[in-house]
């Protein structure tokens, strides 16, 4: 475009051009860039992520108005397979993912924290070869006080034909995941994902209705000041966990942050470093968090970001579940901090072996 007065070519300012390019880096474009391919597989992964983004937008829209919409908040009066009271928003979020994927032709099953058995795509719908495992609304106890909640997802390829509907092929280690991430419903809605080529964060621009690239190739510091744990369980833990907490209480440079929702607590550590712990207790040695759609997707992300995720004695991504809703203890975050927690567990085991 030539300026008629000066005869010079007109270009928008560099920073405007950069901002325009960033605004055009949508999630689907970014996934294809990451895969450096337009193959059918790449298109499938991009389409899967686009559907997840749509689910996130629908849930975010409902959440922003939940306090105003009749009957959106509160309990359903039912208890889920986890033995937890179910909130109306849990069911809404669960159904959003089903609705978004039912006609997509991308998945054959959806396995959710809220459903005892996987949901099989009906015969009259196009069937895909992926399985979505998800926690539709993680931390929903935060809803009544307008605090952050999230959706966690993990994508696996179906193996075999699952003719008996037992979904046994899902009972494999987290290394079988081909994509994982979460949507954080906070002051802004963010979608964080990885398909094995680093961890990338997108912020929802409501005016565009698009998730726009915010941070690419996020790396978790090797050590961070944050420890994130529910210290209300202190007297239910093994001595090793208590010894770790006593250690951080007695040493400078640590600060406690705990929001009661895994997605928000993890997101903070992903960026700032530190460690999130949900160890086993005397009552629940396996802990509270579910492996297939909470710990394993987060472990996939943290390893992609240069961190670690452990049960305390085993890498989370190496755990092979025996049932769909299996729980595991979770210690996740900066490599040095996860290793420090494990050192207390090893010391406790050494002392016990000497007795």
Residues that bind ligand P6P (CB under 6 A): 138-139, 141, 230, 260-262, 278, 288-289
Of 195 and 338, which CB lies nearer to ligand P6P in the complex structure? 338
- In terms of C-beta density within 10 A (0-12 exposed, 13-18 middle, 19 or more buried), how is residue 282 classed? exposed
User: In whole angstroms, how close is the CB of 193 to ligand P6P at the nearest point?
Assistant: 18
Of 211 and 293, which CB lies nearer to ligand P6P in the complex structure? 293
89: its two tokens: 């928003």
| Nearest to 197, CA basis, from 7, 29, 33, 3 | 33
User: In whole angstroms, how close is the CB of 268 to ligand P6P at the nearest point?
Assistant: 12
User: In whole angstroms, how close is the CB of 289 to ligand P6P at the nearest point?
Assistant: 6
User: In whole angstroms, how close is the CB of 229 to ligand P6P at the nearest point?
Assistant: 8
DSSP state of 291: I
Of 104 and 311, which CB lies nearer to ligand P6P in the complex structure? 311
Of 135 and 210, which CB lies nearer to ligand P6P in the complex structure? 135
CA–chain centroid gap for 130, Å, is 18
User: In whole angstroms, how close is the CB of 275 to ligand P6P at the nearest point?
Assistant: 13
Q: Check if the beta carbon of residue 226 is closer than 8 Å to that of residue 240.
A: no
Distance between CA atoms of 98 and 101, rounded to whole angstroms?
A: 5
In the β-sheet with 107-112, what is the strand arrangement from edge to edge? 119-120, 107-112, 130-138, 149-157, 179-185, 189-194, 200-205, 210-215
Of 156 and 288, which CB lies nearer to ligand P6P in the complex structure? 288
CA distances from 85 to 74, 76, 114, 144, 147 (A): 10, 8, 10, 14, 18
User: In whole angstroms, how close is the CB of 175 to ligand P6P at the nearest point?
Assistant: 23
Pairing of strands 226-228, 255-256: parallel
């Amino acid at each position: 475009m030539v300026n008629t007065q000066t005869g010079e070519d007109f270009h928008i300012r560099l920073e405007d051009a950069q901002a325009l390019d960033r605004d055009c880096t949508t999630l689907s474009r970014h996934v294809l860039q990451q895969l450096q391919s337009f193959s059918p597989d790449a298109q499938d992964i991009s389409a899967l992520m686009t559907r997840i983004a749509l689910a996130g937008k629908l849930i975010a829209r409902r959440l922003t108005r939940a306090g105003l919409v009749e009957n959106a908040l509160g309990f359903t009066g039912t208890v889920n397979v986890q033995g937890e009271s179910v909130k109306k928003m849990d069911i809404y979020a669960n159904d959003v993912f089903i609705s978004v994927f039912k006609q997509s032709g991308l998945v054959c099953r959806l396995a959710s924290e809220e459903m005892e058995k996987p949901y099989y795509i009906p015969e009259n719908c196009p069937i895909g070869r992926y399985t979505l495992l998800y926690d539709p609304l993680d931390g929903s106890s935060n809803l009544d006080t307008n605090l952050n909640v999230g959706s966690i997802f993990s994508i696996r390829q179906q193996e075999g034909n699952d003719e008996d509907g037992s979904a046994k092929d899902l009972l494999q280690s987290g290394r079988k995941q081909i994509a994982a991430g979460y949507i954080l419903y906070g002051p802004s809605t963010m979608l964080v994902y990885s398909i094995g080529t680093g961890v990338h964060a997108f912020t929802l621009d409501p005016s565009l209705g698009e998730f726009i690239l915010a941070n690419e190739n996020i790396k978790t510091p090797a050590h961070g000041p944050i420890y994130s744990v529910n210290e209300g369980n202190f007297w239910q833990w093994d001595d090793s966990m208590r010894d770790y907490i006593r250690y951080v209480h007695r040493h400078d440079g640590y600060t406690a942050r705990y929001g009661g929702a895994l997605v928000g607590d993890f997101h903070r550590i992903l960026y700032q470093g530190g460690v999130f712990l949900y160890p086993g207790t005397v009552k629940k040695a396996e802990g509270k968090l579910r492996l297939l759609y909470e710990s394993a997707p987060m472990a996939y992300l943290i390893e992609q970001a240069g961190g670690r995720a452990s049960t305390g004695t085993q890498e989370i991504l190496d755990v092979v579940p025996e049932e769909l809703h299996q729980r595991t203890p979770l210690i996740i975050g900066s490599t040095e901090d996860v290793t420090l927690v494990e050192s207390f567990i090893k010391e406790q085991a050494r002392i016990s072996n000497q007795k």
